[in-house]
Amino acid sequence: MENPAALREGLTRLEKRETVGRFAPSPSGRMHLGNLLCSLLAWLSAKSTGGRIVLRIEDLDAERCPRAFADLLEQDLHWLGLDWDEGGSAGGPAGSYYQSNRAEIYEKYFEKLQKAGLVYPCYCSRSQVRAASAPHREDGTPIYNRHCLHLSEEERAALEKKRSPAMRLLVPDETIAFTDGHLGPYSEYLPDDCGDFVLRRGDGVFAYQLAVVVDDALMGVNEVVRGADLLQSTPRQLLLYRLLGLQAPRFCHLPLLLASDGRRLSKRDGDVSLEVLKEKYTAPQVIGRLAWLAGQLERPEPAAPAELAKIFDWEKVPKTDIFLPDDLF
Ligand code: GLU
Ligand code: ZN
């Protein structure tokens, strides 16, 4: 039967190209305020335009990210009122939303790159890579000097007996430029600023760069809101989207939330983990203070996510590092 109202709504959604944002936490501990701020803004950005949120658990490193932490993370997000529409333990159309269960999917895309002749084995140990890489990226990652690209067949065969290699992507000689939805233009000349990066580690675990691209594409994510520490990963990811023929999302990188003395917040900082926050504050208090830090409220007063979605404004989100006042939490 024809249902004009439903049809109209479907069409409007299509025209609007509904935003699909995501939470992509790596649950190697309890969430801290920095993770929370990212989750809140990803949620607000999607919900303020009537969009949806996918929850994907980035537990590629399964030993560091036990299932118990992922379960706690879901409880914490529920407690905060940051609900998601698809994924997590409830699953959804993309199958499992735990990266630790998706190796077969990554394998297929990895093989595509391999068939295109863009992948080569690297037998270097971590310290060899460090020692042989003169320039390092700003984030400290060494830029690989392509030592193993030039190995002879015999050398390769000999090394193969000693260790199983990591697999690297041969980056093309080009600049990848894009405009970040929040921070503006950013570009990298791949050979000098990035280098050939790892797609699969020696122990067979696929790298974050490949998994995140495949997952965001297959899960229909069209808006990625995350910390500015990942801005430098974006050119690599845009390259993979193109090589794999996948549609890239819009990226919005957020300033980092730092302690008042400028140190990076980490999961080890018990003072700002949700475990402690939950004992001292209500969820609206935590949300309101974060929204204030993100420029959305005049005062750090309690607020509900759904109320904030009505007034959310990207223009008000700071563009430089946010310092956490000592007396805020
Ligand atoms: N899993 C990453 C983290 O928790 C985020 C990856 C992303 O947003 O692309 O830091
Ligand atoms: Zn190597």
Q: Whose CA is nearest to atom 7 of ligand 1?
A: 24
Beta-carbon contacts of 186 under 8 Å, excluding residues fewer than 6 positions away, are 177, 178, 179, 180, 231, 234, 235
Per-chain mean pLDDT for the chain:
93
Residue type, 25: P
Q: 44 CA to middle of ligand 1, Å? A: 17
Lining residues, ligand 1, CB within 6 Å? 24-26, 58, 212, 226, 230
Give the ligand 1 atom nearest the CA of 58.
1
Tell me how far apart the terminal alpha carbons of the chain are, to the nearest angstrom: 55
Q: Are 309 and 48 in contact (CB under 8 A)?
A: yes
pLDDT per residue as tens digits for the range 193-234? 999 999 999 999 999 999 999 999 999 999 999 999 999 999
Query: Relative to the alpha carbon of 131, which ligand is closest?
Result: 2
Which pLDDT value is given to residue 14? 55
Q: 198 CA to middle of ligand 2, Å? A: 10
Query: Relative to the alpha carbon of 70, which ligand is closest?
Result: 1
Q: 19 CA to middle of ligand 1, Å? A: 19
Degrees to nearest 5, angle at CA 313 with 311 and 319: 145
Which pLDDT value is given to residue 141? 79
Rounded distance, CA 326 to CA 269, Å?
A: 13
Which pLDDT value is given to residue 131? 81
Beta-carbon contacts of 122 under 8 Å, excluding residues fewer than 6 positions away, are 129, 144, 147, 148, 165, 166, 167, 168, 196, 198
Matching residue, tokens 């050119």: 235
Q: What share of the chain is helix, strand, coil (3-state, %, to 5)?
A: 45, 20, 40
Supply the angle between the helices 103-115 and 208-218 in degrees, to the nearest 10.
Answer: 110
Q: 212 CA to middle of ligand 1, Å? A: 8
Q: What is the mean pLDDT of residues 105-123?
A: 98
